[in-house]
Amino acid sequence: MASTGPAADAARAAFRERMDAKGHTVENAREAVIGLEEALAAGVLQRTPLLHQMLTDLMVVLEQDEGRKLGGKSAEAARFIVRAIARELGNA
């Protein structure tokens, strides 16, 4: 059962705002995940099995060596996964 209430709605909206913000896709994805993880840890949203898998996949895409900027395929993969997470948040 999906989380309800103003806090859950606000967490979903904040994720989408960060996802759609101007800037680099990878950085936007990182910021969106930080906010989402905070909402999950606070119990505002529920971590569904599918959402957990998507977040795990996204973290692999976002991994980088110190000082190395991600782009290209990593950015495209991050964009794809973040959009899938946004859809799944309706179930979280």
Q: Where are the domains of the chain?
A: 6-91
Q: Give the per-residue pLDDT at 68.
A: 56
Q: Which residues lie below 8 Å from residue 70, measured CB to CB, with a gap of 6+?
A: 26, 61, 62, 64, 78
Q: Give the per-residue pLDDT at 66.
A: 47
pTM for this structure?
A: 0.81
Q: Give the per-residue pLDDT at 70.
A: 53
What spatial distance separates the first Cα and last Cα of the chain, rounded to whole Å? 8
Name the stretches of the chain with pLDDT < 50: 65-66
Q: Give the per-residue pLDDT at 23.
A: 85
